[in-house]
Chains A and B, each alone.
Chain A
Amino acid sequence: MFEANTLAVIFVSLMGLSILLYAILDGYDLGVGILLPLDQKDDSDTMIASIGPFWDANETWLVLAVGLLLIAFPAAHSFIFKELYLPTAVLLISLVLRGVAFDFRAKAAFSHKPTWNKVFKAGSLLAALSQGYMLGMYVMGFEGTLAAYSFSILSAFGVAAAYSYIGACWLIMKTEGELQKQAVLWAQKSGLICFIGVVAVSLVNPLINPEVYAKWFTWPNTLFILPLPLMCFTLFIFSHIQLKQLPKENDKGCWRPFVAAVVIFTLCFFGLAFSFFPYIVPNTLTIWETAAAPESLSFLLWGTIIVVPVIFSYTAFSYRVFWGKVQELRYH
């Protein structure tokens, strides 16, 4: 069986995978929520229909990510969430409001529907902002300085823009007609803000964390890691060019911006992961210092090895069932 140090690496990888999948999957559905036009009833119905069958499962990745942090690195879990106590509460309340608004808007008295639409939009936006703020505080090592707060606020808007961007790209893929054109405009605007945000984080992160700087700018590390920002940059350009041409005849290539956004998210994630590994609390605690007992982790690992492929296969099945352009979403 695996030894303790290996188990810590396996579980931090699993947790990383869950965070990445969460950011991509709930990212697009939070983004759709942020973009929800309150004055366009039909469009907002279609937009919400596009995420209807998926959002529950998307949010489960957050439960898994936070769960793995709690299970595999309990000391890090309590350290991080005690530092982020209030933003976490804001995140949770926004996720609750948004989740219930999703159902109430369709089921409560019709006169209340516009109110629940507003709650849905506000909840999505607040959830994205608080996640971005938490990410910013994490990168800044939970410092209580003005610089850290300013950076975290910047990061909050960066993440909200990134989610809007991937949400807009999702809509380009899943809708047609006027709404699709609108989504292209949204993707262009939020893509630009997202791009600025990524550049800002990439500059600030090595400048404030000497260890991160050392990692990125030590020969020959730089050589191996340099393709990462370069690919990211190229993809933003590619996406920009694509967006200018969309929608094309027969809806050709409507999926390209979404795929580009997914790859951009993945590259950014690996950039951050590379910066901090093996620290789970930046500059304070490593994964090895905080890992739970090997007998517990190996017990969980067996189940994970069996269950995760099954989760992937039925998730894929679900996406295949709801493949293609959104249709009106009814219970039956």
Chain B
Amino acid sequence: MLETLMLSRIQFAANISFHILFPTITIALSWFLFYFKLRFDQTAEPVWMRAYRFWVKIFALTFAIGVVTGITMSFQFGTNWPKFMETVGNIAGPLLGYEVLTAFFLEAGFLGIMLFGINRVSARVHTLSTLIVAIGTSLSAFWILALNSWMQTPQGFEMRDGVAFPVDWFAIIFNPSFPYRLMHMVVASGLTAAFLVAGISAYRLLKGDDKKAPKLTLKIALSVATLLTPLQIFIGDMHGLNTLEHQPQKIAAMEGVWHTEKGAPLLLFAIPDEKQKTNHFEVAIPNMASLILTHDVNGEIKGLNEFEGNHPPVAPVFFAFRIMVGLGMLMLAIAWFSRFELWRKNQLPPWVLKALVAMSFSGWIATLAGWYVTEIGRQPWLVTGVLTIKDAATDIAPENVGLTLIMYLILYAVLMTAYLHTVFTMAGRAIEIEEISDDEKVKPVISTHNKAVEE
């Protein structure tokens, strides 16, 4: 039987991992929708409205799952980690409070108008509602990443009798790792949404959808992915340098550097061995890690030996990092290649479309892998230097934590199956409906298949 601490960790990790998938899509997809709607207002081309109409439904579904799985989190801060709020609640609390007040209400308040209000308000108000929802989702990323970054690199507080008290709110919010983590996550969201839009559009084209909308959305999504992939690599590099400065033990685990060394190699692959404090089966590029991290081929990288008993478990951080970077490179290659092909031939061969379909949810995996790097890399601390995971744990009976964990896992498996199935069902249905010629001017399109009341 696992202990309460381990079960609480698995449960919290399962909940937050499942939850983050959906906001990762909606944060950026809302901006795609705003762009579609804006273009429609400017040009009155029906194709923009069709793109909007299709993607707003996927947005609504994704957003709903994000909202309801997010409610879980607000309860579990207290149930799973009671000492977290007791120790740093004075800092975490207001940041969470501002997220609810400024972001959640903003998005939820205007979502109704965005989804169902198009015939009840003017075009301008509807576009504005779409914009406000997009701002709301981005604001929520701002606050929650401020809190997460503060847990990684805390500052602007003082400890009194074992409790953190705020001293400087500006320093708390704009803590050293925050700008990098925020940019990294926002661009990750952009890439996730771009690959989703590209993948589902490619799916429609593969299934013989000959309409303008999927071609247009494919092109836009690939353009966005082409721009964001190199940008993300650049931001990721800066984020890494920031981590080297503030959490060098995390970098040591990411790079699998057991002993401080000069001219450290970049490990493309290896199997870290925590017991023997070494790596097996290394495939390495000499001096490359030092070059990337210190911009000097002989730069010194601190090894895990300098953080005895105070560094994260190496293997999960090491592998998660390689999954994230590997996927990032793959996304770069596919985005650039297919955008170039599209520019050259104005269409994509089936095998490229199939590859894009396969990559539809690649952003999810890369994002999760990235979060595992940064969150497992924070261990054994919950708040670096202030509170360890062990000290924050709850004393609820392990049976209860285990039982609810199983309930959540079953629920998430069902939801994930239903979600993926529904997204592709909607794409399939979109091929059958919208059967109007491209010259037809702006009209609300109601297909015979879709007479049912649609929420």
Q: Mark A41-77, 1 if CB is under 8 A from B, else 0.
A: 0000110110011101101101110111011101101
Spot the interface stretch: A92-100, A153-161, A238-246: A92-100
Is A1 an interface position by the 8 A CB rule?
no
Q: Is the CB of A63 within 8 A of B104?
A: yes
**Which B-chain residue is minimally distant from A72 (CB atoms)?**
B93
Interface residue ranges of A22-58 to B (CB < 8 Å): 45-46, 48-49, 52-54, 56-57
Q: Is the CB of B444 within 8 A of A293?
A: no
Q: Mark B112-154, 1 if CB is under 8 A from A, else 0.
A: 1101111111000000000000000000000000000000000
Please give the number of chain A residues whose Cβ is less than 8 angstroms from any Cβ of chain B in the complex.
70
Q: Mark B44-86, 1 if CB is under 8 A from A, else 0.
A: 0000010001001100110111011111101101110010011
**Distance in angstroms between the alpha carbons of A86 and B396 in the assembled complex:** 11
**Distance in angstroms between the alpha carbons of A112 and B199 in the assembled complex:** 25
**Distance in angstroms between the alpha carbons of A71 and B113 in the assembled complex:** 30
Spot the interface stretch: B285-293, B321-329, B358-366, B417-425: B417-425
Is B20 an interface position by the 8 A CB rule?
no
**Distance in angstroms between the alpha carbons of A86 and B108 in the assembled complex:** 28
Is A204 an interface position by the 8 A CB rule?
no
**Which B-chain residue is minimally distant from A108 (CB atoms)?**
B422
Q: Enumerate chain A residues within 8 angstroms of B349, measured Cβ to Cβ.
A: none
Partner of B97, one of A62, A68, A78, A105: A68
Q: Is the CB of A332 within 8 A of B67?
A: no
Partner of B89, one of A64, A110, A292, A299: A292
Q: Is the CB of A331 within 8 A of B56?
A: yes
Q: Mark B393-409, 1 if CB is under 8 A from A, else 0.
A: 01110001001100110
**Which B-chain residue is minimally distant from A319 (CB atoms)?**
B112
Q: Is the CB of A89 within 8 A of B396?
A: no
Interface residue ranges of B406-455 to A (CB < 8 Å): 407-408, 411, 415, 418, 421-422, 425-426, 444-446, 452-455
Partner of B109, one of A45, A67, A88, A315: A315
Interface residue ranges of A292-332 to B (CB < 8 Å): 292-293, 295-297, 299-300, 303-304, 307-308, 311, 314-315, 318, 321-322, 328-332
Is B102 an interface position by the 8 A CB rule?
yes
Partner of B71, one of A70, A81, A95: A95
Is B90 an interface position by the 8 A CB rule?
yes
Q: Is the CB of A97 within 8 A of B411?
A: yes
Majority DSSP secondary structure for residues of A touching B = helix
Is B169 an interface position by the 8 A CB rule?
yes
Q: Is the CB of A66 within 8 A of B75?
A: yes
Q: Is the CB of A93 within 8 A of B400?
A: no
Q: Is the CB of A74 within 8 A of B56?
A: no
Q: Is the CB of B90 within 8 A of A53?
A: no
Q: Is the CB of B116 within 8 A of A52?
A: yes
Is A274 an interface position by the 8 A CB rule?
no
Minimal beta-carbon separation of A58 from chain B (angstroms) = 8
Is B94 an interface position by the 8 A CB rule?
yes
Q: Enumerate chain A residues within 8 angstroms of B422, measured Cβ to Cβ.
A: 104, 107-109
Minimal beta-carbon separation of A316 from chain B (angstroms) = 10
Is A133 an interface position by the 8 A CB rule?
no
Is A106 an interface position by the 8 A CB rule?
yes
**Which A-chain residue is minimally distant from B79 (CB atoms)?**
A81
Q: Is the CB of A102 within 8 A of B455?
A: yes
Is B165 an interface position by the 8 A CB rule?
yes
Contact A66-B56, Cβ < 8 Å, known A78-B86, A96-B69, A332-B118: no
Q: Enumerate chain B residues within 8 angstroms of A98, measured Cβ to Cβ.
A: 68
**Distance in angstroms between the alpha carbons of A18 and B104 in the assembled complex:** 14
Q: Is the CB of B453 within 8 A of A48?
A: yes
**Distance in angstroms between the alpha carbons of A46 and B452 in the assembled complex:** 10
**Which A-chain residue is minimally distant from B15 (CB atoms)?**
A92
Q: Enumerate chain A residues within 8 angstroms of B107, measured Cβ to Cβ.
A: 56
Q: Is the CB of A329 within 8 A of B101?
A: no
**Which B-chain residue is minimally distant from A56 (CB atoms)?**
B108
Q: Is the CB of B64 within 8 A of A100?
A: yes
Q: Is the CB of B117 within 8 A of A102?
A: no
Q: Is the CB of B91 within 8 A of A64?
A: no
Q: Is the CB of B119 within 8 A of A332?
A: yes
Q: Is the CB of A108 within 8 A of B418?
A: yes
Minimal beta-carbon separation of A112 from chain B (angstroms) = 8
Q: Is the CB of A318 within 8 A of B116?
A: no
Is A252 an interface position by the 8 A CB rule?
no
Q: Is the CB of B425 within 8 A of A109?
A: yes
Partner of A100, one of B94, B418, B426, B454: B418
Minimal beta-carbon separation of B47 from chain A (angstroms) = 14
Q: Enumerate chain B residues within 8 angstroms of A85, measured Cβ to Cβ.
A: 79, 396, 400, 404
Q: Is the CB of B49 within 8 A of A71?
A: no
**Distance in angstroms between the alpha carbons of A45 and B451 in the assembled complex:** 11
Partner of B93, one of A46, A86, A292: A292
**Distance in angstroms between the alpha carbons of A326 and B121 in the assembled complex:** 16
Q: Is the CB of A292 within 8 A of B90?
A: yes
A sample of 23 cross-chain residue pairs with beta-carbon separation below 8 angstroms, ordered by A number, consists of A53-B115, A56-B112, A57-B111, A59-B67, A60-B104, A78-B86, A81-B79, A82-B78, A88-B79, A92-B75, A100-B68, A103-B65, A108-B421, A109-B421, A110-B452, A113-B452, A297-B94, A303-B98, A304-B101, A315-B109, A318-B112, A318-B113, A330-B454
The 3 closest A-B pairs by CB, nearest first: A53-B112, A71-B93, A99-B68
New A-B pairs, 12, CB < 8 Å, besides A71-B89, A78-B394: A48-B453, A52-B116, A60-B100, A63-B71, A71-B96, A74-B86, A75-B86, A85-B404, A95-B68, A107-B425, A296-B89, A331-B116
